[in-house]
Amino acid sequence: MKNIAVLVSGSGTNLQSLIDQAEKGTLGGSIRLVVSNREDAYALERARRHGIEAQVLTPKRLGGSRAFNLALVELLRSRGIDLVVLAGFMSILAPETVAAFRDRILNIHPSLIPSFCGKGFHGIKVHEAVLEYGAKVSGATVHLVDEGTDTGPIVAQRSVEVLPGDSPERLQARVLAVEHELLPACVRAFCQGRLRVEQVPGKRPIVHWD
Ligand code: GRF
């Protein structure tokens, strides 16, 4: 059974979807640890309510980003974590952290990458930008985390239609509903060894589902 850590910063509805599947035995792995960079993340409450170890690590409290990343890697290793899932996690991981868990960190982003992603595109801002642009389709992306922001190899995507008169909140709610299906499906595929990263020199790595 793979050991999973989920990194959070907010309400934790994606964490909840992972917990629900883990408790049904359909996740393919066990959530051993939840880490938040924010004391007030409701996601921590969700973890505690389900008897999952919940830790708060903040760059401020640890004396900066470098110390934060060192403490994070130490904690993940001490718990024998096989897969790290970023579910609304708002701190940037250092290159050393990404390297320590190469191709073992999944992130969920609420748009169809490479659209509406990268610096500044998070939370409701993503959906505001989609509507402002006049896009007719949005959706969710799960990708492996590399040293960039939302730039890692794409694992899975699912589209969501933008409806006439949509507000950012209504679009966000429809995309979230898709996220809550897509992320557990990708976690399960990883835990069952069904994801394979094809490295082609000079090209973007491609993720295959076996
Ligand atoms: C989700 O929309 C996710 O795509 C984005 O942040 C949000 C987290 O929501 N990265 P929650 O904390 O899982 O409810």
Cβ of 13 closer than 6 Å to ligand 1, yes or no, is yes
pTM above 0.85, yes or no: yes
Cβ of 88 closer than 6 Å to ligand 1, yes or no, is yes
Other CB atoms within a 10 A radius of the CB of residue 8 amount to 26
CA torsion through residues 111, 10, 156, 82, sign: positive
Three-class SS state of 134? coil
Three-state secondary structure readout of 86-132: ECCCCCCCCHHHHHHCCCCEEEEECCCCCCCCCCCCCCHHHHHHHHH
Of all protein residues, the one whose alpha carbon is nearest to atom 6 of ligand 1 is 88
Q: What is the pLDDT of residue 92?
A: 86
Q: What is the pLDDT of residue 108?
A: 98
Cβ of 12 closer than 6 Å to ligand 1, yes or no, is yes
Cβ of 139 closer than 6 Å to ligand 1, yes or no, is no
CB 109 within 8 A of CB 141: yes
> Could you tell me the distance, in angstroms and rounded to a whole number, from the CA of residue 202 to the centre of ligand 1?
32
pLDDT tens-digit series, residues 102-152: 999 999 999 999 999 999 999 999 999 999 999 999 999 999 999 999 999
CATH topology of domain 2-209: Rossmann fold (3.40.50)
CA distances from 16 to 73, 94, 131, 173 (A): 23, 26, 27, 15
> Could you tell me the distance, in angstroms and rounded to a whole number, from the CA of residue 131 to the centre of ligand 1?
18
Query: What is the token pair recorded at 195?
Result: 């994801």
Query: What is the token pair recorded at 150?
Result: 């939302």
Enumerate residue ranges in the chain where pLDDT < 70: none
CB 28 within 8 A of CB 106: no
Please give the Cα distance from 199 to 153 (Å, whole number): 10
Element (H, E) at 198: strand 195-198
CB 196 within 8 A of CB 207: yes
Radius of gyration of the chain (CA): 17
